Amino acid sequence: MLKKICVITIHDVSAFQSHLSKTIETMKLIDDLGVKYNLAIISNYLKKYPVTIDNFTRIIDKFITKDKSNIALHGLYHEYRQSIEDFNILTAEETKEEITKGILILKDAKIQQPKVFISPAWHISPSTAQALHELGFEISESMNQIELIQKDIIIVTQQVMNWDISGDSQQNKPTIKQNQQIYEKIMRGFKPSLLRLALHPPHDPPEVLDQQLEMIEGLKNKANYSFKTYDDFFKEGVQE
């Protein structure tokens, strides 16, 4: 029987301390459920909060797995002057320059270079894919697909379950019902072989954390999903 895989990614992990505290709370609760997850790190959120050893790495290091990496680069600054960082409009050289800046910030903070890239705008252009390939990235994720960059494979998936559609927790409230309907459909028997959950602790509605934890527990214990990091997925997942 085909093994069902669930990939959880905690987005918007940054050195902005009020956001980071919410992220850490979420990570601790997911750790209690005994499942793997990815961390999508923003190197220099809003061009104001670069990650450093003191303001980020020492706080979050215990949540980063060393043997099988669970981190992704989630843009250089994610957004600036209320505009989402959009790699879809950059040339390959511009993309390489921006991403290299992000990698170097992480390197200075003693964080290993990610092999996964998740665009803040949830999509990339062919020129971005070319730049990611040249920089050695293995995976990029968008709303409806996963690209195994070095293998030149695109996997079309069900749209990611996402509770952040606006960056505002109040405006994101409609996603509670939408994602609950998807979850209930899965519990009734619709079980996609690959399921993705995108958690945004700084921007998800506050009451949604309980829903997310209940879903993760149900997917694990009732729907028999196996939880993988993207590193797992790249090395093993496509073969199952």
User: What domain range is 33 assigned to?
Assistant: 5-239
Section 101-110 average pLDDT:
97
The pLDDT of residue 1 is above 60: no
Q: How far, in Å, CA of 230 to CA of 102, rounded? A: 19
What pLDDT is stored for residue 69 in this prediction? 84
CB 20 within 8 A of CB 59: yes
> 2: pLDDT confidence band, cut at 50, 70 and 90?
low
Q: Which two tokens stand for residue 20?
A: 């980071």
Per-residue pLDDT at 240: 39
pLDDT for res 239: 45
pTM score, two decimals? 0.94
| Number of structural domains in the chain | 1
Contact 13, 204 (CB under 8 A): no
Give the integer Cα–Cα distance in Å for 31 and 98: 32
Q: What is the mean pLDDT of residues 84-110?
A: 91
Backbone angles phi, psi at 56, to 5 degrees: -145, -60
- Cα(17)–Cα(147) distance, rounded to whole angstroms? 32
**CA pseudo-torsion sign 5, 148, 140, 147:** negative
- Domain containing 197 — which CATH number? 3.20.20.370
Average pLDDT taken over every residue of the chain: 92
Q: List, in sequence order, every beta strand (DSSP E) within 51-169.
A: 71-73, 79-80, 83-84, 116-118, 139-141, 145-148, 153-156, 161-162
> Could you tell me where the DSSP H helices lie in the chain?
17-32, 58-60, 92-108, 126-134, 174-187, 208-221, 230-235
Q: With residue 226 as reference, give the H or E element that holds it.
A: strand 226-227
Residue scoring higher pLDDT (165 or 88):
165
> Which percentage of the chain shows pLDDT scores above 70?
98
